[in-house]
Amino acid sequence: MNLLHGLFSVLFIVEFSELQGKHGFFSQALLKGEVIETMSQAKFVAGIHAPNHPNDARRKTRICTAFILSKTEIITNAHCVYDAPYVYVVAGAKVVSDANQKIKIKVEKENFACHPYYNYLIVGAFDIVKITLKTPLEFSDTVGSIELVDKDYKLNDPSEVVTAYGYGVLNNIGPLILRRCDANYMSDVERPNTFNISQTLYFTTGEATNDGEIITPGDSGGPVVSKTNGKIVGITTSINGTIGGRGAFLPITPFLDFIRDPKSVKPIPPPLKPNEAKFIADIMVPGKFLTAYKNDLADVDENFQLKFNAIILSETEILTCAKSVLGAPYVYVTVNKLSSNAKEIKVTEDQIEIHEKYASSGMTFGIAKITLQEPLEFNDNVGKIHLVDKDYKMNDPSEMVTVYGDMIMHGTMRTRRYDTKYLDGTICKSKLGAVFDANHLMCYILDESMGTPFTFGGPMISKKNNKLVGMTIFHLPGKPIIFQPIAPLLDWIRKPKVRRHQRRRI
C-alpha cells in the first residue's frame, strides 16, 4: 500500500471501521408506509417535541421519533435534542402533534446523554442520544418497551425484512401520524457507486414512493426493527442522510455499550490550544503538483489540496517532508494554524530545498527546508522549537518523546500530541520489512486512543530536553510509524540555503 492510499484509508475507513463493521446497506425497495391502526402494534414508539431555540425565532419546533427501551430510557437522534433546553417525550400516541397527549413528559437538558463523538456539523455520524426519564412511564396496552439485538448480530442476509417506524409527514403535509414500512436491504457489494464513502455508518431501507419520500421531517430517531427476531437493529438518522431517494439509518449494534452506559464511551480528547502548538505549521500542496503521488492523483480536481504538517525552526525556516513538496512550483505555509488569526504564506520552489540524497521512491533523507522571504512575527501562538544537539543519540529505550501532528479520531481531525517511546531499529525492521531502512530511520508505536495520523511532517520532541529529535514521515495502518531522526541531518539543516534551481522531475 503506498502512502497516499494509506492516508485516504485512514481518513475514510480506519476511523469508522470500529462502528462500521459490515453494517453499511442499501435497500432494494421500500413499500408504501401504512398508518398504525392502534398503538398496541407499536407501543415501543415515542415522539419527541423540542421547543424553538431561545436565541433563534426562525427555528420551528422539532418533531422526531424515538423508541422506548425501558420505563426510564428513551433513544432517539442527537440532532433532535441538540441545543434544546428541554424536550417533551410523548408516548402512546398515533398522532404525535396532537395538543392533548395523555402521556407527555418534560425532560430537561441535563438528562440528555448525546454520544460524545456526535458533531452536528457531520450529518448522521454518531447521531444518537439516550434520554433518561425521572418519572417512569406506566406501561400498558399502548405503551411498552422493545429489546435491542445482541452485539454479535449482523445484517448479512439480503432476504431479511426490516420494519421502519416514524412520525414523518407525507409530501410535507401533516398531521404527523405514526407509520411503518417494510423493506429488504442491499449488501455492501451491491450498493451503487453514488454512495458517499464518508457515510458508511448508514444503511438504508429503500427508495421513495409516489406518496412521499421515505425519510421526511418527523422520522428522525425512529426504530428499525428486524421482522425475524422483533428487536431493534437500527435507528433512522435524518432526511439529510438520504441519497438518491433512499433513507439513511444507523446500525444499532456498534452503539450497544453507549446505550447501556453512556459514560463508558470516553469523549474525544480536546485539540491543542494555539499556544501549545506554536511551532507547528501546515503545508498545503495543490494536488496537480504532487508529483510524488502522480499515479494516485491522476484524476483529481485542480483545486484539490493535500495537507502536511511542518515545523518552525526560526523566523525564516520551516522543516517538512520532502515528499510533500517535491516537484511543486509553489505551496502554502500556514502558521498560527489553531487560532482565528492563522496566516497563509505562498512559497515558491526557489524557497524550497530538498535533501540531495532524497529519492522519491524511498523515505530516507526525506526532509525539506523552506526559507521564507519575510520573517515570521513570533508571539504567544507562533514560535520555534530548538534542535537537538549533534551528538544526541536515540539509544535509550526508556526515553519518552512527545509526538505532535494532525490525527483523526472517530471521523474528526484535530491537532494532537501524545507521549510514546521509540523502538529499537531491529524491532522496526521486523515489523515493517523492506520498506524500512534501519540505517537512517526509526519508528514508534501509535497510541490508538489518540487517533490515527493523517498528515506527516509533525515534530517529535524529547521530554528530557524539550528539543526536536525527529519528524514523522510515514505510516501504514496497523504498523509502527516511521520517523526521521534529526541529529544526523543537523549539518544539512543548518547550512545556508543553496541558491540554485531546486525543482526535481520524476
Q: How far is CA 234 from CA 33, 49, 109, 150, 191, in A?
A: 17, 21, 24, 12, 18
- Residue 378's φ and ψ, nearest 5 degrees, are -75, 140
Residue 437: alpha-carbon gap to chain centroid = 32
Name the grid cell of 72. 426510564
SS3 17: helix
**CA 112, 117, 119, 122: dihedral to nearest 10 degrees?**
-130
Single pTM value for the model = 0.60
SS3 301: coil
Residue ranges of the chain with pLDDT lower than 50?
1-32, 55-58, 188-213, 239-245, 297-298, 500-506
Q: Is residue 121 packed enough to be buried (19+ CB in 10 Å), middle (13-18) or exposed (0-12)?
A: exposed
CB under 8 Å to 326, separation ≥6 — which residues? 291, 292, 354, 360, 368, 504, 506
- Residue 434's φ and ψ, nearest 5 degrees, are -65, -25
CB under 8 Å to 132, separation ≥6 — which residues? 72, 73, 74, 107, 111, 113
Q: What is the CA radius of gyration of the chain?
A: 27
CATH architecture, range 15-264: Beta Barrel (2.40)
d(CA 134, CA 11): 40
Phi-psi region of 418 (alpha: psi -120 to 50; beta: other; left: phi over 0): beta
Which residue shows C-alpha cell 551528538? 391
Same fold, 15-264 and 274-371: yes
What is the model's pLDDT at position 424?
Answer: 85
Name the grid cell of 157. 442476509
d(CA 27, CA 362): 45
Reported in sequence order, the residue ranges of 77-177 that DSSP labels E, i.e. its strands, are 86-91, 103-108, 112-114, 129-132, 162-166
Count CB-CB contacts under 10 A for residue 118: 18
- Residue 35's φ and ψ, nearest 5 degrees, are -75, 135
DSSP string of 234-285? EEE--GGG-BTTB--EEESGGGHHHHH-GGGSPPPPPPPPGGGGTTEEEEEE
d(CA 434, CA 304): 32
Give the model confidence (pLDDT) of 223-251 as tens digits.
989 988 999 998 887 543 344 445 567 88
Q: Which amino acid, residue 421?
A: K
SS3 485: strand
Name the grid cell of 274. 494555539
Closest CA to 353 of 369, 366, 331: 369
Maximum Cα interatomic distance, the chain, rounded to a whole number of Å = 84
Look at the domain 400-491 and name its fold.
Thrombin, subunit H (2.40.10)
d(CA 251, CA 232): 9
Domains of the chain, by residue range, sit at 15-264, 274-371, 400-491
- Write down the CATH number for the domain with range 274-371: 2.40.10.10
